Chains A and B, each alone.
Chain A
Amino acid sequence: MLAETFFIAAGLLAVIAALGMLVSRSPVRSALWLILIMLCVAGLYMTLSAEFIAVVQVLVYAGAIMVLFLFVIMLLNLGALPNLERVDFKKGVGFVLGTVILAQLVYITATASEPLVTASFDPAETGSALKIAEELFTRYALPFEIIGILLLVATVGAVMLAKRTFE
């Protein structure tokens, strides 16, 4: 019962924050709403007993990535820009498309006749840093190294892109 109450609270807060991100005029407010979404999703990971991923979510997403976003917003001084949002054909199409995608996903979820998966496991076993590290450094050691190279290349590429001047 407690877990369900927590799920409903975190889920509702996440949806409200997502709508707030969608409608707020200033990019800084959108970024702050997004941080709230990340924290709610981290709480939902805790209800799934995925503690390690929840901590990584807070550290990397709510910490590093959102600080990067806020830093770029500050750098570009976006509050000073004229922020006129027009209601036009594009927005109508966007609303219809988003609603259709939502309807499809909910329909698929609701009409799954048999139970989607058979839940027979010990949730305390999965989700600890020990279990993830065992898999990550044995079976997935090569992808792990490749991710390291990818992050290095992305960092160098980001620096090169940001300092590049066009004609």
Chain B
Amino acid sequence: MEIPLTWYLTLSAVLFSIGVMGVLFRSNLIVILMSIELMLNAVNLTLIAFGQFMGDITGQILVFFVISVAAAEAAVGLAIVIATFRNKLTVDVNDIKLFRH
């Protein structure tokens, strides 16, 4: 490996932090879901980097499962977005006050 492990970890940290900021900044439900996908990608990058540097294939198996669960998560999350939009006619989290009376 010519590229040091630290580079991968730092890039992954930057991407994860941008994902966190996306969840906290944006008020659009769909963009929040996209930020969650970005965070999952950052974590996958860390897993594969560690796995490859240790010569262990389990990291890649784990990433394979994470990608499968992310697909399921995206499907259910977007279905919830559609249900919310049909109910409230908005996808702005500031306008969705299901539990606030």
Are A131 and B57 in contact (CB-based, < 8 A)?
yes
Question: Which residue of the partner chain B has the closest CB to A77?
Answer: B85
**B98, chain A: closest CB distance, angstroms:** 10
Bound-state Cα–Cα, A65 to B34, Å: 10
Q: Shortest distance in angstroms between B9's beta carbon and chain A's nearest beta carbon?
A: 5
Cross-interface CB contact of A76 among B21, B26, B56, B91, cutoff 8 Å: B91
Q: Is the CB of B61 within 8 A of A135?
A: yes
Checking B9, B15, B34, B86 against A109 with a beta-carbon cut-off of 8 angstroms, the contacting residue is B9
B79 touches A162 (CB 8 A): yes
A165, CB-defined interface residue at 8 Å: yes
Q: A61-B67, A121-B55 are in contact. Are A30 and B31 (CB under 8 A)?
A: yes
A166 vs B80: C-alpha distance when bound (angstroms): 12
A61 and B37 form a contact (CB under 8 A) = yes
Contact of B14 among A15, A38, A166 (CB under 8 A): A15
Residues of B in contact (CB 8 Å), total 74
Inter-subunit contact B6/A110 (CB<8 Å): yes
B72 in contact with A154 (CB, 8 Å): yes
Q: Which of A61, A97, A99, A153 has the most CB of B within 10 A?
A: A61
List, in ascending order, chain B residues with CB within 8 A of A47's CB. Answer: 3
Instruction: List, in ascending order, chain A residues with CB within 8 A of B28's CB.
Output: 27, 78, 83
Binding site secondary structure of chain A:
helix
Q: How many angstroms between the C-alpha atoms of A22 and B20 in the bound complex?
A: 10
B7 at the interface (CB under 8 A from A): yes
* A19-63 interface with B by 8 A CB criterion: 19, 21-22, 27, 30-31, 34, 37-38, 41, 44-45, 47-50, 52-53, 56-57, 60-61
Whether B24 pairs with A147 at a CB distance below 8 angstroms is no
Selected contact of A72 from candidates B9, B30, B45, CB within 8 Å? B30
* B78: chain A residues within 8 A (beta carbon): 68-69, 72, 158
Please report the C-alpha to C-alpha distance between residue A26 and residue B30 in the assembled complex, in whole angstroms: 11
Most buried by A among B15, B21, B50, B51: B21
Q: Is A65 a contact of B20 with CB atoms below 8 Å?
A: no
Residues on the B chain within 8 Å of A112, using CB: 6
Besides the contacts A116-B5, A165-B86, what 6 more A-B pairs have beta carbons closer than 8 Å?
Answer: A22-B18, A94-B23, A97-B24, A127-B52, A135-B57, A136-B61
Hey, which bits of chain B sit against chain A, CB under 8 A? 1-3, 5-11, 13-28, 30-31, 33-35, 37-38, 41, 44-45, 48-58, 60-61, 63-65, 67-76, 78-83, 85-87, 90-92
